[in-house]
Structure formats: structure tokens, C-alpha cells
Structure 1
């Protein structure tokens, strides 16, 4: 795992994030019959909120992003994308753990949705997320604050 850090996103990051989203989601969206080259990028542009978004940098270069948007009863983990070459390196786990620790300190549940059949679901389940509801495309998951998982037990040893 390289040196990584989170920095606040700015409006200047939107195109890099939109492009990464298209690359990362392509296989899952194609499998679900939902891939549209323009729509996948435009949906990110339409919902991009720099105030709640961080850019993941690895060795000083753009490598991904993640958003943590406050809502009435929880924070929504959104737009969590990591460059394919870095997936499986432990960086995504470290980023997720940092954000969940922040929410745990606030006593705030975290919600997210993941595409049906996405391998990312296993990452979320390892961190204590459970299925809330699902539809034909998305699985909606929730994690209570302070959820103890095998992942968090291993990290604290």
C-alpha cells in the first residue's frame, strides 16, 4: 500500500471523479444492463457535492474519491471509487475505516447503496454493514455506530 491521504474535493475535481466512476462501475452496470457512457458520468456531475467529498491521493496523485453526506438520521457514504490498479491494496479499507471512525465518534449510523452483485459489497459487510432493503439494481445497507466486526477487532490488536 502506497502513502495515501484524503484532501477536500473542489469543483475542479468533478471531471476526474466522473471519469473514474465510469471506469469503476462499467462492468457492474453492463452486467445489470444499465451502462450508458454519458449517463454514468452525468449522474456524478449532477450529484457532486464538493463540501462532503474527499479525493484520495496515493503518492501525491489522484487515486479515488469518497463522499460522506449528512442526512436526517445518518450519513450517506457515496461515490466511493478507487482506481482499479489500487483495488485490493488495502487503501479502500483504510479510507473506509477512517470515515467510519469519524461517524462512530459522532454516534451516527452510516447508509450506502451498492450495485447488486458488486464485489464492493464484501468490503462493506466486513465493516459491519447489513442489508436494509434492495431492488432490482441496488442493495441498500446500513451500519450502526460502533459496530464491532472482525475487521475492527483485527485492526485494534
Structure 2
């Protein structure tokens, strides 16, 4: 092969360096799990499962990941912390959306709409229920 020369006598490949995990080293699967579930919680906060359940999961795994990193058993404490914060934000957003949904469901206007829809037999009656509901909400 052109441009290739065999190694000279006495040459040996460099020894592989092995580092023991110390502070900031090692793997922290909890950090990755916290970050992934935290991002999902923020993106899906408008759903009960996304905001509340994923937010709780991200918060718990983030806190456990930070604690593991502080014990120097693993690294990535910042990633764990970011996952926990995103999970908390997703949880807060999910709870607010859930509270808004419950407030709308229990409102007097929505109760009137449900009664009207239950009593309606034709599409025209359903359309009238919709118009009446919109008039109630606007006033």
C-alpha cells in the first residue's frame, strides 16, 4: 500500500486509559429519565397524563438523580436538576389545566348546555343549544 510503512521495532500501541468514576463521572440513568420525562411533561401539560403523571415522574427521578450525583455515585446533576424543574413546570401546568376544566364543567352555563343537549332530539335543536350557550357565555 502506498504511503503505509510498518511500525518500527520496539513500537507498541499506547496503553488504554481507564478512569475511575468520580465526581461528575459515571452514568446517571435517572438524569436522562428525568430530562426525557420533564420535556414530555412540558410538551404535554395540557393533558392530564402528560402534565400531571409525567410531571410527577420527572420531579421524582430528577430529585433522585441529583441526590445520586451529590453522593458522587454518578454525574449529570445539572441534567437531573433541569429534568426536575421541567417536570415541576409540567405538573403546575397540568394541574392548572385540570382545574380550569373542572371549573368549566361545573359552571352554570355548561350545566344549562348539558340539559339542553340531553333534551334535544334533532340537529336543529342541538344547533339552538349551541347558539344559546354562546349567547350566555358572551353576556
When normalised by structure 2's length, the TM-score is 0.23
> Which structure has the bigger radius of gyration?
2
